[in-house]
Amino acid sequence: MNTPSSPSAPAPEHRLPPGFALHASGADGSQEYFLNMGPQHPSTHGVLKLVVRLDGETVVEVVPHLGFIHRAIEKMGESETYVQYLHLTDRMDYLSSHINNLGVCMAIEKAMGIGVPERGEYIRVMVSELQRIQSHLLWWGAFGMDLGAVTAFLYGFKEREKITALFEDLCGARLTMNYFRPGGSNADVPENFIPRVLEIVEEMKFTLDEFNALLSANPITISRTQGVGALSRERAISYGCSGPVARASGVNFDVRRHAPYSIYDRFEFDVPLGQNGDCYDRYRVRMEEMRQSVRILEQAAASFPEGPHRAKEKPVYKLPAGSYFSSVETARGMFGTYIVSDGGLKPYRIKSRSPNLSNLAPIAEMAAGGKIADLVAILSTLDIIVPDIDR
């Protein structure tokens, strides 16, 4: 701290803003100051506020401030029926809205013993994987832009648009899908769905090569990300990280593989694992995940069955009293839904375990000691969706 202290003033550590713990280094020439990054900063992807304690350009401590987009979705859920609640989960992690819907639907199905027809399961898997690719494409674009490559942003969005257009034909929405329902989905896929998926699959292979040519081995990307923001395997586990963030640190955990839901156990795919847990590994894990999703899509499209897309619809969805849990792998990690039912039409309590809060938690540890520009790279490769944290 560079504020002079008088004997009557409280000790410097008591004057630190909330959340900061370290004492002033006291080293000569230390020029510590606090900086608000966000809630309007372009690299905080929405409304995350990071209070950064800096010594020159070096980050000493970071404290994230949350709650700018809190909408009390879980509380709202208590006054809505289960099917009405579905559309609110779109608004948590809006880039994985299909997968969030799926998580809630699965909990309801588990509670009521509803089965899903074969075609319905295939639709679920394919739509989830398309959503994952779509989300990672947007991440890739935003990552490029955070590091200063605006071209990447446009290319990422251009490729994503193809999948978004497919979703638009499928369920009428581009972001807040509200498509899956207990027992299947609210409508069958349009006639040209499979040909279009195959088209996207072919184009994705080309696109990923192009993206690799643009950024993956680019010396600027490498120097901005390699060895930056390393997270060890142990720390990733103790923070409860999941998804690509944990896998880049070498945690071999993917809900699709280790607690398979829907029909994921029928498809062949690899779970990419990093070794260093740095920003570059997180980057490479996501790039590889897109390839694996393309693989799943290819297999699913080849054996897409005929038949009904949804089990017989129930007039009301009334869960027997008890508690139910389901977990799915969204583009960012494990999304759990915990429902406590008292046997009524509406949940007694509905709780989401969303991946982003735990994925954001290690940021203080990762950023400390680095430069402020590294903080941007770390934030970008953590791929935070703030409305999912605040709910």
Partner 1 sequence: MNLAPIPHNDHLFVRRLKQVGELLRGMRVTWGYLVRPSRVVTREYPENRETLTFPERFRGQVVMPHDAEGEHNCTACTLCEKACPNGSISILTTKNIADKRVLGRFVYRLSSCTLCNLCIEACPFDAIHMGHQVDNVEAASYERAALDLILNKREGR
The answer to whether residue 199 forms part of the interface with partner 1 (CB under 8 A) is no
Separation between Cα atoms, residue 163 and residue 132, nearest integer Å: 10
The answer to whether residue 170 forms part of the interface with partner 1 (CB under 8 A) is yes
Tell me how far CA of residue 313 lies from CA of 115, 184, 186, 285, 288, in angstroms. 11, 9, 10, 39, 38
Which residue among 210, 321, 322, 344 contacts partner 1 (CB under 8 A)?
Answer: 210
Find the part of the chain contacting partner 1 (CB under 8 A) among 22-30, 38-46, 268-276, 328-336: 268-276
Which residue among 69, 214, 263, 311 contacts partner 1 (CB under 8 A)?
Answer: 214
The answer to whether residue 158 forms part of the interface with partner 1 (CB under 8 A) is yes
Which residue among 14, 217, 265, 302 contacts partner 1 (CB under 8 A)?
Answer: 217
Q: Got the DSSP string for 25-82?
A: ---TT--EEEEEE-SS-GGG-SS-EEEEEEETTEEEEEEEE--TT---HHHHHTTS-H
Which residue among 64, 229, 243, 274 contacts partner 1 (CB under 8 A)?
Answer: 274
Residue corresponding to tokens 């997968």: 99
Which residue among 98, 119, 132, 284 contacts partner 1 (CB under 8 A)?
Answer: 284
Separation between Cα atoms, residue 153 and residue 20, nearest integer Å: 34
In the 8-state DSSP scheme, what is residue 254? -
Residue corresponding to tokens 């290819």: 298
- Indicate the residue among 30 and 164 with the shorter CB distance to partner 1: 164
- Indicate the residue among 214 and 372 with the shorter CB distance to partner 1: 214
Separation between Cα atoms, residue 178 and residue 102, nearest integer Å: 10
The answer to whether residue 164 forms part of the interface with partner 1 (CB under 8 A) is no
Separation between Cα atoms, residue 159 and residue 140, nearest integer Å: 11
Helix 97-112, helix 82-89: angle, nearest 10: 160
The answer to whether residue 289 forms part of the interface with partner 1 (CB under 8 A) is no
Phi-psi region of 322 (alpha: psi -120 to 50; beta: other; left: phi over 0): left
The single-letter code of the amino acid at 388 is D
Question: In the bound complex, what is the minimum distance in angstroms from residue 222's beta carbon to partner 1?
Answer: 8
Question: In the bound complex, what is the minimum distance in angstroms from residue 5's beta carbon to partner 1?
Answer: 47
The answer to whether residue 213 forms part of the interface with partner 1 (CB under 8 A) is yes
**Burial zone of 323 (CB within 10 Å; 0-12 exposed, 13-18 middle, 19+ buried):** middle
Find the part of the chain contacting partner 1 (CB under 8 A) among 7-15, 30-38, 52-60, 168-176: 168-176
The answer to whether residue 150 forms part of the interface with partner 1 (CB under 8 A) is no
- Indicate the residue among 218 and 299 with the shorter CB distance to partner 1: 218
User: Backbone phi, then psi, for 23, in 5-degree steps?
Assistant: -75, 160
Question: In the bound complex, what is the minimum distance in angstroms from residue 281's beta carbon to partner 1?
Answer: 7
Find the part of the chain contacting partner 1 (CB under 8 A) among 15-23, 271-279, 295-303, 320-328: 271-279
Find the part of the chain contacting partner 1 (CB under 8 A) among 41-49, 120-128, 283-291, 351-359: 283-291
Which residue among 187, 259, 311, 368 contacts partner 1 (CB under 8 A)?
Answer: 187
The answer to whether residue 121 forms part of the interface with partner 1 (CB under 8 A) is no
- Burial code of 347-358, b = ≥16 C-beta within 10 A, e = fewer? beebbbbbbbbb
* Chain residues in the site for partner 1 (CB under 8 A): 80, 83-85, 87-88, 151, 158, 161, 168-173, 176, 178, 186-187, 190, 210, 213-215, 217-219, 226, 270-275, 280-281, 284-285, 288
